[in-house]
Chains A and B, each alone.
Chain A
Amino acid sequence: MTASGPLIRLEGICKSFGTVLANRDVSLTIESGKVLALLGENGAGKSTIMSILAGQLQPDSGAIYLDGRQVILSSTEKAIKAGIGMVYQHFKLVSAMTVAENIFLGRGGIWLNWSRMHREVAALAEQYGMKVNPAAKIGDLSMGERQQVEILKLLHRRSSILIFDEPTAVLTPREADNLFDTMRLMTASGKGIVFISHKLEEVMAIADTVAILRRGEIVDTLAAADVHSPAELAERMVGREVLLQVERIPQEPRQIVLKVHELQDAVLSNVNLELRQGEILGLVGVAGNGQKQLVETICGLRRPAENTIRILGMEWRKFFRKADWERTLAYVPEDRQGLATCQGLTLLDNFLLTTRGGFVRGPWLMRHLAEAKALHLIEEFDIRPPDLAAFAWQLSGGNLQKMVLAREFYRKPRLIVAEQPTQGLDIAAAEDVWNLLLKAREASGILLVTGDLSEALALSDRIGVMYNGRIVDLFAVEDEEKVALIPQMMAGLSTTTDRHLATF
């Protein structure tokens, strides 16, 4: 039962996309019978390293050793043959087919023997403590059951290394517990597991070893037994050193632009906050603790209960009914290539997406006016290439983000919701974005949602910490005692009883 030893070893893996370094000198060892947790925020490089293992991406440099011999995983097929199986976050299952059909896809002889297939699947499921009906259509199954089918697919192929990409994101707590039981059965039979997550308690519960990734690098590898509290992991994961000094001149907060009062839904519970013009409220927390729901509700993508949100003094419904294109709300979404821009449109058209209200005369769009304005903005915000006819997809992440900010700030918003505004950007571009946000603060209130604590500390006047759908605490950034407790709050630990753990 304690069969162990290195199954696969990664050494010095580097991978970059254009100018963005996704993985820098990553070395990992996956052992038989052990669970290795890869911990890191979104964009820390977890998916890249995983795609390399699955044969979907090729590293720029570095080597992979399987049972001591170097292998080149040049395709998914090769990775499968090498015994590496991946449970994707987005399941690779054909929903029109049955469980057994999905498991036997690409396997077996010419003829399919249904009763034998069903028997084999049922036996395998039972061996690992799963309850799956082999004849059920995937489309009729819950997310947890679909995940079990994904796992069964790999077990049936006798994969020796199973990689789970944020497996609990789609599961109910009970299903997550079942998954952990299954994982324990798998390690007991000698399989090696890589568990990718940013949920600290889960990592603490299941992992033998924890590797922490930040900005593409492994910043720490520790035995789970040596980790005393999730707060320790949180601190290492988000980092606290301020990478760049940005100058933040305190502003006199003016009228309230956003008021959230006892907002409640499936994820959020009793969220209260106030945001005034002239301040930045940094909302931090491990991703998936309700930040997305809160932002989407404030920005009009989800409907809140009545009288829970007031924007610029108006009730939510009334505000969105009469929202003008300027001097109102600007949303800088995390998904800048999907929600913020249209990849196949030019910069000018993307500029007009939210500002067209300012360039209409009757039914006509005054494109030449928009062109003059947009050109001016491109120069002011230093967007490259400085060409209005360039398509959004031709721009780098940083330039695209600057273009989104230019467009949104042109609307002279009084409330700005910025979600992960520097995620995936290089330092220079991030610094530009930070300075732009600080400048915009003079005229508006900014809700900054970020997973990067140093960013939040550098920019915010006040900090809110989210955990499990709640805002655990809201405090001024000058309150050093509270700031020191942020990792505990992010990990959901009580900040009154565990104060002695605040060693940083």
Chain B
Amino acid sequence: MTFEIIIALLAATVQSGTPILYATLGEIFTEKSGVLNLGVEGAMIIGALTAFIVARFTGNPVLGFLAAGLAGSLATAIHGVVCLGFQGNQVVSGLALTILGVGLANYIGTGYVGMSAPGFQPLAIPGLADIPVMGPIFFQHDPLVYVSYLIAPLLWLFFARTRFGLGLRAAGEYPAAAIAAGLNVAAYRWLGIMVGGFFMGLGGAYLSLAYTHLWTTNLTAGRGWIAVALVIFAFWRPGRAVFGAYLFGGIMALQLRLQASGTQLPSSILLMLPYVLTVLVLVLSSWRKGTSEQPGALGVNIEPVD
């Protein structure tokens, strides 16, 4: 009995961790290029709404999912114009993107509150789903979860094994070296912003097409911010991001279960749990600052050569 509860809780952990995982990997991609994007929350919620509307009007959740990625890129492109085009302050621009995105999505989405859209349904992977313990936890979910499994290894492959990954990391670590090597740093940073935004949009789409099939106000509920913190927790490594995202997913799932079980704890305290963990994670990971793997030029704009 307790064993089954734990399995169910872990399966729910994967589900609630997935949108955070998409967003965290997106932010890692962007930050590796040297751009700090605090607009994750905004890009996510714009992706969530786009996915919902496209799926609702086309009836095709796959189209909605892809549209969400494009919408995420489009949203973060604003950040690119401000920071790469005009050398604007990256922190301010990112915050503005969050405020803009959340406000815009809530406004456009007002008419859809409580409505549903065709989303993704769980699809057990034949064979793998029958493995004891692992099967129910990892392989009885909707296809978007399976897609998310692929992204972290792909990002690792890109960073470590391709010429473009090397260039992107150099643009984020020490742009002067990249320029001396004849690379176009601005182009790499645009790539970082656009691809990162694509993943953030996908994370939003997971919320409106798989996690729920509904549109509600403030659907992302701060998950974008958790992703920003998780990037630091993960030391900018895709592999550790998976671990971190599921850690948060676990806390969120647990918090829901506790509420449902009718505990004496006030629900607002339980709702705080993920954010308390966020603060803890940031404190703990900045403890070992010396070994931090933060990209050397993160948040520093590249001055145009005169």
A 402-419 binary contact with B (CB < 8 Å = 1; else 0): 000000000000000000
Our pick among A77, A81, A94 for the contact of B170 (Cβ within 8 Å) is A94
For B295, give the chain A residue with the smallest CB separation.
A96
A80-B182 CB under 8 A given contacts A105-B170, A108-B163, A111-B161: yes
A119 CB–B CB distance under 8 Å = no
**A168 interface residue, CB < 8 Å from B?**
no
Cβ–Cβ < 8 Å partners of B163 in chain A:
104, 106-112
Q: How far does the alpha carbon of A101 sit from the alpha carbon of B165 in the complex, in Å?
A: 11
Chain B CB within 10 Å, residue with most, of A56, A86, A97, A106: A106
Q: Which residue of B lies closest to A112 (CB)?
A: B161
Given A104-B166, A112-B163, verify A96-B296 contact (CB < 8 Å).
Answer: yes
In this assembly, does A76 line the interface, its C-beta being within 8 Å of a C-beta of chain B? yes
Tell whether B293 is near chain A: CB-to-CB under 8 Å.
Answer: yes
The bracket for how many chain B residues form the interface is 20 to 34
Q: Is the CB of A97 within 8 A of B162?
A: no
CA distance A335 to B177 in the complex (A): 25
| Cβ-based interface call for A95 (8 A) | yes
- A104–B181 CA distance with the chains assembled, in angstroms: 9
In the bound complex, do residue B173 and residue A97 qualify as a contact, i.e. CB atoms below 8 Å apart? yes
> Is the pair A76, B162 in contact by a Cβ cutoff of 8 Å?
no
User: Bound state CA distance, A94 and B162, in angstroms?
Assistant: 17
B180 touches A112 (CB 8 A): no
Q: Which of B164, B167, B181 has the most CB of A within 10 A?
A: B181
Interface: A102 (CB within 8 A)? yes
Known: A110-B163, A112-B163. A95 touches B296 (CB 8 A): yes
CA of A106 to CA of B161, assembled, Å: 13
Q: State whether the Cβ of B169 lies closer than 8 Å to any Cβ in chain A.
A: yes
- Distance, CA A97 to CA B177, complexed state (A): 11
Tell me, in angstroms, the Cα distance from A88 to B176 when the chains sit together: 11
Cα of A411 to Cα of B136 in the assembled complex, Å: 79
- Asked whether, in the complex, the Cβ of B169 is within 8 Å of the Cβ of A94, the reply is yes
**Majority DSSP secondary structure for residues of B touching A:** helix
Q: Which residues of B contact A109 (CB under 8 A)?
A: 163
Asked if A93 is at the interface (CB within 8 A of a chain B CB), the reply is yes
Q: Does B174 sit at the interface, judged by CB under 8 A? A: yes
Q: Which of B134-172 contact A (CB under 8 A)?
A: 160-164, 166-167, 169-170
In the complex, whether A92 has a CB less than 8 A from a CB of chain B is yes
- Among B160, B173, B182, the residue within 8 A (CB) of A94 is B173
User: How far does the Cβ of A54 sit from chain B's closest Cβ, in whole Å?
Assistant: 9
The interface size bin for chain A is 20 to 34
Asked if A105 contacts B166 (CB within 8 A), the reply is yes
Question: Nearest Cβ in chain A — how far from B157, in angstroms?
Answer: 9
Tell me which of A92, A96, A106 contacts B176 (CB under 8 A): A92
**How far does the Cβ of B292 sit from chain A's closest Cβ, in whole Å?**
11
A97–B180 CB distance below 8 A: no
Contacts of A93 in B (CB 8 A): 174, 177
B273 at the interface (CB under 8 A from A): no
List B residues 34-61 near A (Cβ within 8 Å).
Answer: none
B167 & A105 in contact (Cβ 8 Å cutoff) = yes
Q: Are A97 and B169 in contact (CB under 8 A)?
A: yes
B62 in the interface (beta carbon within 8 A): no
**B41-87: which residues lie under 8 A (CB-CB) from chain A?**
none
* Residue of A whose beta carbon sits closest to that of B167: A106
Q: Tell me if B179 counts as interface (CB < 8 A to partner A).
A: yes
Residues in chain B near residue A112, CB distance under 8 A: 160-163, 166
Cβ B164 vs Cβ A76 within 8 A: no
A251 to chain B, nearest CB (A): 47
Q: Do B166 and A110 have beta carbons less than 8 Å apart? A: no
B186 nearest CB across to chain A (Å)? 13
* A101, B166: Cα distance in complex, Å: 7
- The answer to whether A106 touches B173 (Cβ under 8 A) is no
- From the candidates A81, A88, A105, name the one contacting B181 in the complex (CB within 8 A): A105
CB pair B182 A92 closer than 8 Å: no
- B178 interface residue per 8 A CB criterion: yes
Find out whether the CB atom of A110 lies under 8 angstroms from the CB atom of B162. Answer: yes
In the bound complex, residues from chain A placing their C-beta under 8 Å from that of B166 are 97, 101, 104-105, 112
A103 closest partner in B (C-beta): B181
Given A97-B169, A107-B163, check contact A92 B296 (CB 8 Å).
Answer: no
B256 CB–A CB distance under 8 Å: no
Chain A residues with Cβ below 8 Å from B174 are: 92-95
Q: Is the CB of A105 within 8 A of B183?
A: yes
Residues of B within 8 A of A95 (CB): 173-174, 296
Contact A102 B182 (CB under 8 A): no
Residues B179 and A76 in contact, CB atoms below 8 Å apart:
yes
B164 near A105 with CB under 8 A, answer: no
Chain B residues within 8 Å of A102, by CB: 177
Contact B177 A105 (CB under 8 A): yes
A76 to B169, CA, bound (A): 20
- B296 near A106 (CB under 8 angstroms)? no
CA distance A2 to B166 in the complex (A): 39
Within 8 A of B (CB), among A305-337: none
B164–A106 contact, CB under 8 A?
A: no
Q: In angstroms, how far is the closest chain A Cβ from the Cβ of B189?
A: 15
A26–chain B nearest beta-carbon distance, Å: 22
List A contacts of B180 (CB < 8 A): 76, 86, 88, 92
Distance in Å from the Cβ of A80 to the closest Cβ of chain B? 5
Residues of the A chain whose Cβ atoms lie less than 8 Å from the Cβ of B295: 96
Q: Is the CB of B182 within 8 A of A77?
A: yes
* B164 interface neighbour in A88, A94, A110, A153, Cβ under 8 Å: A110
Cross-chain pairs A/B with CB under 8 angstroms, 8 sampled: A76-B182, A94-B177, A94-B296, A96-B296, A101-B166, A105-B181, A111-B163, A112-B160
* 7 cross-chain pairs, A with B, having the tightest CB-CB distances, nearest first: A106-B181, A92-B180, A92-B177, A77-B182, A105-B181, A94-B173, A94-B174
Which residues of A are at the interface with B, using a C-beta cutoff of 8 A?
A: 56, 76-77, 80-81, 86, 88, 92-97, 101-102, 104-112, 153
Which residues on B are within 8 Å of A, measured CB to CB?
A: 160-164, 166-167, 169-170, 173-174, 176-183, 293, 295-296, 305
Known: A92-B174, A105-B183. 15 other contacts (CB 8 A): A76-B179, A81-B182, A92-B179, A94-B170, A94-B296, A95-B173, A97-B169, A102-B177, A105-B166, A105-B177, A105-B181, A106-B163, A106-B167, A110-B162, A111-B162
